[in-house]
Structure 1
Amino acid sequence: MDATLQTFLGNKPSMETPKAEPQPAYTQEQQEKASEVVQEQSGETVQEQADETPHVNRRISGKQRRASLEEYKEEFLRVPSIEDRKPVFLSRSTRDALDRIVRMFGERRMSMSGLVENIARQHLATYGEDIEAWRKL
């Protein structure tokens, strides 16, 4: 910035040139993660094929999104029967995110506790056998 502009903005012009701070070098893994985030935000997914050339899948249609929403609702937003309740503690950000999902997509009697119950049941159904095998290691 030239001295006139700095004076106008209320900054005193300095005679020294600011030194650029050294930036950390990114590892290959960090660069890959960053590119995945950019691709996810653009709505496109890139799948690596065996020959290491990326293949771009196009966006999902509205009809497919509605079908996947219905699958999600069927799996996680059913009102469960919870007996012998116990408190579970969640961070504020997690609680707010789950509460938002329940308010947007849940039925009238659905609660955040019901969503957490359904998520835990699905997790146990998916990994129950593995957990038992790991326990015996």
Structure 2
Amino acid sequence: MKKNLSSQSIDAALQDFLGNKPSMETPKPEPQPADTQEQPEKASEIVLEQVGETAQEQTDETPQVVRHISGKQRRASLEEYKETFLPVPVIEDRKPVFLSRSTRDALDRIVRMFGERRMSVSGLVENITRQHLATYGEDIEAWRKL
């Protein structure tokens, strides 16, 4: 089952799952030279017009129905997740991989909650990486040839 999720949406889903709120800081604009002050104003007017058009487009569409996910569906998806990412892998010729503390803590929490006795964060990272390579391996080879 291949899901098209951006890295940001995966991070947001993981943060939501773990009960952490992702940082919602907005980047600060870079200072502009004094002679180009008129251009940003025009650009902001264009952006505002585009935002207005987007808002109109969204209100013209029919509202999306929020569907309830049953407990049975959640258990099935948990079992699928466990089968895909939490079997204890055999890792030969190990090499270190570095993760940020927050990512390591998040993965450790997942392993402790859902993994079997011998499962580790290294095993989870191995399984995630194997799944990623299986899903995108052909695309990566095609991109390499570009």
**Given the two structures, how large is their TM-score scaled by the length of structure 2?**
0.59
Which position in structure 1 is the counterpart of 2:145?
136
Which position in structure 2 is the counterpart of 1:111?
120
Which position in structure 2 is the counterpart of 1:82?
91
Q: Deviations over 1:34-91 (max 9, x none)?
A: xxxxxxxxxxxxxx8xx83232132200111000000000000000000000000000
The alignment-based identity, stated in percent, is: 84
Q: Considering only aligned residues, what root-mean-square deviation do their CA atoms show, in Å?
A: 2.6
One-letter amino acid of the structure 1 residue matched with residue 79 of structure 2: E
Structure 1 unmatched runs, 5+: 1-24, 33-47
Structure 2 unmatched runs, 5+: 1-43
Q: Deviations over 1:89-124 (max 9, x none)?
A: 000000000000000000001000000000000000
Which position in structure 1 is the counterpart of 2:64?
55
Q: Which has the larger radius of gyration?
A: 1
**Given the two structures, how large is their TM-score scaled by the length of structure 1?**
0.63
- Helix, strand or coil for the counterpart of 1:55? coil
Task: Report which of the two has the higher share of strand.
Answer: 1
CA distance in 2, matches of 1:103, 1:115: 11
Higher relative contact order (CA 8 A, sep 6+): 2
The aligned length equals 95
Task: Report which of the two has the higher share of helix.
Answer: 2
